[in-house]
Amino acid sequence: MTRQTDFLIIGGGAAGTTAAGVIRTLNPNAKITILSGENYRLYSRVLLPNYIRGEITREQLFLKNPMWYRENQIELVGNSKAAKLIPDQKKVELANGETFLYKKLLIATGASPIRLNVPGADLENISYMWTIGDADTIIEAAKTAKRGVIIGGGFIGLEFAHSFKEKGIETVILEGAPYYWGTRLDEKSSRVLRNLLEANGIKVVAGDQVQEFEGRTLKRVVGTVKTKSGKKYEADLVGIGIGIRNDLEWLNDSGMKIDGGIVTNEYLETSIPDVYAAGDCVSFYDLIIQVPHIVGTWGNATTQGAVVAKTMCDVRTAFEAVSAYTINFFGSSCSFIGMTEEDFVDEIVVRGSVEDSKITRIFVKKYNSQTRIVGATVINNPAEVSPLTTAVKNRVDIASHKDRLSDLSFDLKQLIG
């Protein structure tokens, strides 16, 4: 079966749904179709932890009601997985055999969690906190769970830790890196977070990896986590957060340029005419830091969806924004701003200390005659997030202030006037 549409959007998440709404505003008569891999209207993955902890209802996860799609004449096709893009025919083939012809195509397929490939990984009560189904599983398992194990650090790991603690589950975190969240933080920043976790009764074990999950006798439910060092941890519930990946194999024969994500320019235009991309699946040219950048945050996806919709409607608009994400847990906060890859910058300036239980790392790079902040990690210094974000966005030359950045008496607001 072949169907036709003016604007075909693959992905019903933040980027795709936002784009559909903006397209409808700019083009009242166009036919708009969203293909979603899930059978749900737009819901917030960011709020899944709040749902798990009982802070909101299941219905409050949903950001669009069915009436919104009807009123805006946006067709939402659920359980739809793209299998092949044929650009010269402007055609997308689905895994179920259906075919869609488009005039303009937006790929906003997001990302998916990296799955652990070890024996027993398919046992029940092992979750990735990625979908509503995952959240439902965690809520049900937590009703009787006494012990939990979290695999990996990062934002998802912290959300698991917060949720398990709220449910009264005795928790161990297994981190494969030499220290907690070692893939994104330095050792001192890691120590601040580890101290906060341990102060809340959560044990952190670094430098060890999962070898196998064992089920309970005669049941397909997880019971034990075995590590490569030979240790065993009892677990009624396991949470995994070891990173995300893009599912772009279906584009292999399309000629699309891919480098970690779908490569786009600052207008979110791909290497194929009339094909655009937005959200977690994109390696876009970042006008602020002047390099390709992949950002997996809800805010970034939403903004890119709005921007790319304008370009798709011939109002060509560049995407220019600073990525930022904050998680609050146990009365503390952790924020990432902009580019925080150590090998990209010339210098990292540290404010605060482990002893203060707060630490900020400021990532500095030279651009010709300018010295600029391109990113930061901020732990327990929430007042510093706004001035640092503004300094990155406005490309502030901080050369005259750089030597004072590590001084806690220096107010970072002075960077932005």
CA–CA distance, 25 with 73 (Å, rounded to integer): 11
Q: Is beta strand 147-151 parallel, antiparallel or unpaired with respect to 104-107?
A: unpaired
CATH of the domain at 362: 3.30.390.30
**The pLDDT value given to residue 408:** 95
410 in a domain, yes or no? yes
121 in a domain, yes or no? no
CA–CA distance, 286 with 133 (Å, rounded to integer): 34
Residues 209 and 268 both lie in one domain: no
382 in a domain, yes or no? yes
**The pLDDT value given to residue 15:** 99
Residues 107 and 12 both lie in one domain: yes
**The pLDDT value given to residue 220:** 87
Residue ending a domain, choose from 181, 213, 242: 242
CA–CA distance, 60 with 75 (Å, rounded to integer): 22
218 in a domain, yes or no? yes
The CB-side HSE value for 9 (13 A sphere, CA atoms) comes to 34
Tell me phi and psi for residue 124, to 5 degrees.
-70, 155
Residues 138 and 235 both lie in one domain: yes
Residues 76 and 55 both lie in one domain: yes
286 in a domain, yes or no? yes
pLDDT digits (tens, 9 = 90+) for 180-198: 999 999 999 999 999 999 9
Residues 158 and 193 both lie in one domain: yes
289 in a domain, yes or no? yes
Q: Which helix (H) or strand (E) holds 8?
A: strand 7-10
Residue ending a domain, choose from 312, 337, 352: 312
Q: Which residues does the chain have with pLDDT short of 50?
A: none
**The pLDDT value given to residue 219:** 76
Number of domains in the chain: 3
**The pLDDT value given to residue 329:** 92
CATH of the domain at 90: 3.50.50.60
**The pLDDT value given to residue 217:** 72
What secondary structure does DSSP assign to 81-127, as a single string? -EEEEEGGGTEEEETTS-EEE-SEEEE----EEPPP-STTTTSBTEE
Range of the domain at 298: 2-111+255-312
358 in a domain, yes or no? yes
Q: Which helix (H) or strand (E) holds 222?
A: strand 222-227
Residue ending a domain, choose from 197, 219, 242: 242
Query: What is the four-CA torsion angle of 20, 25, 29, 30, rounded to 10 degrees?
Result: -30
CB 363 within 8 A of CB 374: yes
**The pLDDT value given to residue 232:** 98
Residues 224 and 145 both lie in one domain: yes
Residues 102 and 38 both lie in one domain: yes
Residues 288 and 373 both lie in one domain: no
3-state helix, strand, coil in the chain (%, to 5): 25, 30, 45
pTM of the model: 0.96
248 in a domain, yes or no? no
pLDDT digits (tens, 9 = 90+) for 265-280: 999 999 999 999 999 9
**The pLDDT value given to residue 239:** 98
Residues 79 and 153 both lie in one domain: no
Residues 133 and 233 both lie in one domain: yes
Residues 169 and 89 both lie in one domain: no
Residues 143 and 216 both lie in one domain: yes
